[in-house]
Structure 1
């Protein structure tokens, strides 16, 4: 199994040079405060795996630490190493390339796949769960699952466009050949039809014009056939219009026979109904007079009845006042007796309330004295605590004074050391400069000697190249050595190295080594001097820190800027004062009465409260009773002050009985009068209805008579409707219709002659078009040629349709394959929802759904959560913590279901930065399961030390090997330290 062993960083962002991060095979936790390099670490991992950083784009030089020119990074997997380097030059990235970690994935897709299944970075705007549908779908399409089908689907689209374009061209060609065949046949048919029109003798234009002149009052032009044809069309249209109008008028006159018969009947109805209307009108007047008399009688009876009822009501009111006065007297007596009893109960309640209040006051006084002693005791304890804190501060103060003295001594020693090392550094710098000068002089001498030697060797080589092959005399000494010997001597001379040159080159090399050695010694002296300076700074900072802490302790209120001895004296005095205070408190405690318990206080408060409530209730009862007595007395006084003295009850009852009999008698008379009035009212309504009905019938008959006259007048007939007048008008119309029909027939014959002349013209035109199309071919040959062209185009279109059908069949199968791939991609949904149910508290997110579909032949993906009765994008509903949980759970699900790399790893950059510890614990439980149960190597960073320690303990309790590291800023940059 592929496992990361260690990470090495050098000059990455804020990291120092050659920083090694040991990586556990199970879990590595990096505690890093914000700004120390968490994001840079994950960007460096992305660079080593993909050769690029998505966030930086072309500006990868931003990974290089400020002041440096090159940054390096490596991932050590044991069997192989991934390396990457970034420089500030133009070609800024050097990458080791692909390995077995990448599997069979397309290199261009690795950056996207890494964020789908391995890496949770801080670029939350580009998380899968917050991407738009097109970008999210494009990321899922990069998974190895079904990539061949996706690629083939993309090719199919291009092929379909090409086939569609080819078919359109073939179809256009087939349509053009079909149109040519149809046009040829149409011309042949047009010529044959025109030939039939000219099979008989044809009239001339003058003859047609003379015939038309008989039907027209205007002159007929004989310039051309179109003019004659237009004149015939106008005359024929006018004749047809006139014939249609005559026929319509004839039909309308035929309907006037019924109007004449109806007019005769209506005249009789009008006379009869006028007599009937006058009779009903007189009967209606008589009924109105009778009804008015009965109404007067009803009004008189109603007045008598109202007067009798008013007398009876006055007697009843007087009897009611007599009975009410007696009732008030009895009620007042009862209320006075109840008021006396309630006043006695109020006196008893006041006495009980006074006794309970006094007992409660005594208990509260004792409780208050105990509370005062308790507060004094608490104040004493607070002062004792302050004394202990001040004593501890004094001890720290004393220790800090000793530390300051020690720092002063160390500073003196360090300054002496710096002076010594400064002197030694100056000596090393002078020695290095001397070595550099000697090396430069040796190099210059060597170059001069080298140039001289090269010139001599070049001259010998030139002489050797210019000598003839048979020449044996030496050109320098003149001795004859022979051609072969001379050649050998020259060759040996070219191979010989000048001893002086060799010696000088050795000396130059020794000088260079001396420069390197002196530079190393100088660098060591510089580093030693620098360390001494840093040590002095550290000691000075320590001394300043001690001074600051001493100053803070002296400014405490209890010391008030005093010196160490004075502060000790104040502490001693305060300690003695507190001892005296404790003695006084102990004496007061012995003098206190026993403290009442809370139950006793509660009981006394309850008794006092009950007594007060009883007193209040009694007081309210007495007040209500007094108010009732007062109200009854007022009512009784008002009743007794009546203006007239009241009669006895028996007298009033006797008079009321007599009046009741009189009222009943008058009421019976009123009812009889009202009944007679109702009868007469009904008779009046019936007579009025008969009159109105007769008037309506008479008016209807009059309206019918006027309608008959109006319709007769519309046909331009005079007088009232008459059968004899109607018969004469019909005879005249029949004669006019016959004449108009004869004119239409004559004009139609002329139209046929014009058509025959037109056919002759069409025949010549059709023949000319046929001759133009066939060219040198005969008509039969041209017909065969057009049919052959049409068949060829049709066959080509059929072949393209067969290719398109084959492509559609393949596309359907491929679409089915892609849909199956989509189904497999959605396999993560149950696991995703399960993880969300464990991490996110809000129930709606456990129903998060992933939709993956193709729209316009492009992959789209949506992450939706239910919101009421609809679904909404998850990132628009979630908080910042919930967004992080959505992306983390999605990444975990994808890592478990869709694996594209043999390296099972989770790279999580501060996944719980928005969580409290309770919420983060749920996330840690899920990560623990992935480490223990599924074998994922996990690297997690966090800025929260509490969460980091909690996660580490949780993993260690389950036997997980944890590398707990922290990123610390140092002098040379950020480094890694075991926690």
Structure 2
């Protein structure tokens, strides 16, 4: 299993250089106040893994420390792989290491989406699935491995179908063009046939007279086009529109009036209610005025009682001060006696402590001297050991040079062999190229022969067919050469030529095919030779490159060792001697080590701790003595002031006087309480009357508004000032008669229009003949008609073919869409595990019983949202949940998705302050779930918090189950924020 072992971050925002955090199994907790840099560490990990910090898109330079030109982050994994990312202030980003290889995923997987979905919990939930819009949420879900392949196919649906549609539309446009042309031509032909059989019954003069009369009746001004019936026919639409408009207006007025009878009844009922409401309002206002007077009287009485209460309180306080002074005087006298006794006791302890510290200092000086002697010896031994290590490294480099030289000789031998093979293959290539050229020339010759035969065949067949048709059994003389033959012989010769011509052509095609196959065969051999040459050249370049690299490495090692060609053999023979001498010196030093004094660091630490403890106690004693002296002086001064203050006063008399004022205060407070009770009851009644008045006035206002609307509707009818039921009935009868007459006029209009149309068609015969001749051109109408039909049939077949192909592709995509729907159902199954986690950390039943994830496809795009059900209506959860609940929904979704749809063997959860909105009780539920993910599922968790109490609680919970954990404290310093491990 892959795990993150360590992270190093430098110069990111407030962080200093090389902030290093060790990870491991279990939990790593970052503890710091808000704004210190916890989120920066999480976003540094995000930058290294995904190549971006999504929250800072377009403003990357904000991630770099103001005092630095770039920031770095390095991630070290337990599989000996690492990632190093560098972000410059100008926005340039570089990364070392293959993140896809480290995470064990293919190149087509979208790491930024999946990392945010299953590994990284952000403080800012607006950048995350639950709070983003439906389209973006759907895009996030589609990045999961379970859905990405299908969605990749569906994403091409529009472009594929568009391509088919473009081809279909082009063919369809051609088909429609010819179809419309055919339809127009056939309509002209049919009209011509129809016109020949049509003869209008009514005279044209009578038709025009009827139209003008009808237009005049409806006040429509139309020009007379007696010589242009087409224009006159267009103008008729004005008359028809006017008649229809008049009919619709009368019908609308009739319907309004017919439905107004119920409105009149409502008007009468409202008048009675207005009178009733006004009477109620007047009664409530009278009662309200009486209550207001009672309230004013109670307020006056309360003010008098408050003044009396204030005077009694002041008197009682003054007497109480005198009693307190008597008590304080006795207390301070006793305190002076106790403090003097404590000073004597502290001075004795002070002397003993100073003597003890002096003894400890002597022990420390002896220890430091011995330690200095030992340190000098150890430094000498360390220097000789380092010298030995350098000599052995030099020996290894000399051995490496020998090995590299041996490898170099072998590669040079291999290089010469490859060069020989390349020369052989190039010779083969030249020979085969000559053969290919020869076969190509043969093929071109055969192809020209076939083309010539093909052309000749057509011409000869055409000519001989004509001759054949004009030669009978009795023919004796050839029409071409005038040669004489016996009867029947000439016919046989012509027939033989016709039958043998096609086999000659077939033989030529066979020869052409043989020549073509030979060309292809030798071209294939040539391609194989060229491929071999390319492979050998590649191998040759690699070997030559390896030789150059070995030469560079050998030269570099020699430069590191400061060697020339003449001193290499000398260094090689001399190095072993120098190593033996160095080992001998080290052994001699180690034998001297036993004579050194033995030091016990634990004894030294104990002495230092005792000394420091006694020094702190000594300082504390001196401080206590000075403090007590000051207290005694202050108490003496206070006693003198108190004795002057209470001179000529008696303690018992003051106590009796205080009891008297206390009794009077109790009586006054009881009277004030009674007054407040009466005031509260009266005020409640006053408020109730006020609410009744407001309620009745609002109801009256609503009724008056309704009456105003009814009167406005009535004024539109122009039937008088006030609504009248009889007037409504009379107007309805009148409108029924008008509507009936309009229907008759409309029928007359359609009759005249049809008659005019018949005359217009009758007069169009000559014009139609001209159009038919214009479309057909030099062809006859029948021939042009047949050509159009054939074109339409041809385009229809092509259109049918492309339509069938399009339907086949569409059927395939529909099947893919069904698969996508099945995937959406599978994605919906996440709700079960999601709910199980939510129930452990969220107590709101609207959320824990909600459908939660809703995902669907709309216009080839995946849409997703989080839904709760309130009153049988789907509501987005983010609209009803608190900040803490939204955080829990986000966290639980990440937990459920991480376990259900794992996309990498790196099982990790990076949680940036997930319980910042929680008290300890609710945070405990979250910690329980995280503990189970570590213990049962093997997750590695990194969690930040600003609350030390929560951090310590989580650690104790993990420790109780034997789970390892560590706490890092973020500490602001002058050079930048650093981290210190505190647990």
TM-score normalised by structure 1 residue count: 0.44
Structure label with greater radius of gyration: 1
TM-score normalised by structure 2 residue count: 0.44
